[in-house]
Structure 1
Amino acid sequence: MSVSLEKLQRLRRQAGHGSTMSPSAPLPPVHDPLPALRRMLGIRERTRPAMTTRSGDRALPGEEIAPGLLRLEQVLPFDEAPSHVDGTFARTGDLPTQGMLFFDTETTGLSGGTGTRAFMVGASDFVPGGLRVRQLLITHLSAEPAMLRAFAGWLSEDTRLVSYNGRCYDAPLLATRYRLARQGTPLAGIEHLDLLFPTRRRYRGVWENCRLATIERNALGIVREDDLPGSEAPGAWLQYLRGGDAGLLRRVLLHNFQDVVTLAHLLLHLAQPDAGTPAVGPPFA
């Protein structure tokens, strides 16, 4: 028995000879940043499987007004908009600003067609005290009909849509989605001023292109910082739907927000006497 004890003690001494840590000493703790991140974002701790690949950053702003549908709204300080603007740039008379709804969509693709859907709709309009910006975002495919109904609620008999390439892309795409959802198309018969065409007539050949970001930077002096290209918006939304990080989708919200704010600035810019040339054809459709 004494021999066995001596052997055991010798083996323990040999095991500890090449190690600076006692075999019984606890391992250093591993830092896990996710709990602190969730607390910072206001996300409650939830028990998940150990092998989950879902992101801890799932926070999105807004109020959930229907299952899977978020609504964001705020009023920005804005120089008091005139009741009418000079419509010479669009070859028309004075244009009333009341009832104008500047709008833009973020979609799952740029080709259009029945396979493309809008997952975000943003709009701005002039209200007492500033420029109101509203956005709708679906976080689940089943929420699309609710988003379409909510956007229809923003339209009225005196609404005049204002967009940038919306007559060729955004409006037809939304009309298709309303039709597939078996909802009446609220865009039918609404006047629509597309600022892309008078902008092209004014600035074609002046700068490298007439993309909205180019026009706002050169003509309006608006410079976007850390802007997410529109081509990356579909991937950001799909990543979130699959349980991924919400960071890119929040940047899509900012991109859409800036688009509808820029449209209001662009309208007032084009309405200045020295900023536009007469358009060819009627401005509304």
Structure 2
Amino acid sequence: MSALAGKLRQLRAQSGQVTASPVAARPAMPANVRNLLLRHAQIKQQGPARLASRDRDVAGDEIAPGLRYTEARMDWLQPPALIDAAFARMEPMHHDRLLHFDTETTGLAGGTGTRAFMIGAADWIDGRFRIRQLTITSMAAETAMLRTFAGWLSDDTVLVSYNGKCYDAPLLATRYRLARLANPLHGLAHLDLLHPVRRRWKGVWENCRLATAERQLIGVVREDDLPGAEAPAAWLTYLKGGSAANLRRVAHHNAQDLKSLAGVLIQLSNLGEIPPPRRVRKIT
């Protein structure tokens, strides 16, 4: 039979017909390669488990499933007389009404796909500076975080932020709307410190970022600070089962932002650069 098949191939070749060469048999896959591919498929199927870490400690008390709360109080480092003078210049905007706030989010683009995974807020209680932070460790905890933050606001609250009018407030408004909750920021007075800083030092400093303002005005130079651009990766890594180390660094970064907000506000007030706060317009 094999001789006949060979004769037929010879006749086809002589007549000009082209035939495909017989397909060579695949060599057997080495056992180590096969095992490696199987292991890769198992890891891919397991998903988050491949990032499992023992370092899963997120600071704070769990006040709702997946929602962590931290609170700290500190004595202000600047002389009380300097603080009192600054607050006196801000009347009738009494300092007890001020709420400094800052969010850490999953991206800088905004829109419905971006969410806040951490909300930090700071105010003055009995002459001491109080910092409160909310951190969600699961997607399902976002509504609980939004409700808790809303409880920190009242009708006469004056918001203090850095670029919060353009970023933090609209982002939170979107998250409240998607959660079918009333937006508690609507109608509140809002003092965005980026605007007086730009008005006074644009073109004088290399830029008007908060890091520059805090260095120039209150002498804060951050060391081992996690850049804000790395915050989304820190949270997403934790959600996938990874280490909480960078998420804790995000919390430290957020707390320093709040302290810097208060320090910059006091310095601007003493320089006569604080305008009357404007009420937040309705964001649709």
Q: Is the 8 A contact 2:268 2:274 kept in 1?
A: no
Deviation at 1:258, TM superposition (A): 0.3
Q: Is the 8 A contact 1:105 1:120 kept in 2?
A: yes
Which residue matches 1:40? Answer: none
Which residue matches 2:237? Answer: 239
Asked whether 1:164 is paired with 2:167, we answer no
Asked whether 1:135 is paired with 2:133, we answer yes
CA distance in 2, matches of 1:277, 1:77: 25
The Cα offsets for residues 122-164 of structure 1, whole Å up to 9 and x where unpaired, read as 0100111410000000000000000000000100122110100
Instruction: Please tell me the residue identity of whatever aligns with 2:160.
Output: V
Deviation at 1:217, TM superposition (A): 1.0
Larger radius of gyration: 2
Structure 1 segment 23-172 matched on structure 2, within 5 A:
53-78=51-76, 79=78, 80=80, 81-82=83-84, 84-87=87-90, 94-172=92-170
How many residues align structurally?
Answer: 226
CA distance in 1, matches of 2:88, 2:197: 16
Structure 1 pair 63–277 and aligned structure 2 pair: CA distance change class (3 A): closer
CA distance in 1, matches of 2:118, 2:109: 17
Asked whether 1:217 is paired with 2:218, we answer no
Structure 1 pair 278–127 and aligned structure 2 pair: CA distance change class (3 A): closer
The Cα offsets for residues 26-83 of structure 1, whole Å up to 9 and x where unpaired, read as xxxxxxxxxxxxxxxxxxxxxxxxx954111111110000000000001011154438
Q: Is the 8 A contact 1:85 1:268 kept in 2?
A: no
CA distance in 2, matches of 1:53, 1:105: 26
Instruction: Please tell me the residue identity of whatever aligns with 2:191.
Output: L
CA distance in 2, matches of 1:261, 1:213: 12
Deviation at 1:218, TM superposition (A): 1.6
**Other structure's SS at 2:225 match:** coil
Moved more, 219-228 or 73-82: 73-82
User: How high is the sequence identity, in percent, across the aligned residues?
Assistant: 59
Q: Is the 8 A contact 2:158 2:277 kept in 1?
A: no
Which residue matches 2:278? Answer: 284
CA distance in 2, matches of 1:277, 1:98: 20
Q: Is the 8 A contact 1:138 1:147 kept in 2?
A: yes
CA distance in 2, matches of 1:258, 1:136: 15
**Other structure's SS at 1:218 match:** helix
Q: Is the 8 A contact 1:75 1:133 kept in 2?
A: yes
Q: CA RMSD in A?
A: 1.7
* TM-score normalized with structure 1 length: 0.76
Structure 1 pair 133–277 and aligned structure 2 pair: CA distance change class (3 A): closer
* TM-score normalized with structure 2 length: 0.76
- Report runs of 4+ in structure 1 exceeding 4 Å deviation: 276-279
Structure 1 pair 53–170 and aligned structure 2 pair: CA distance change class (3 A): closer
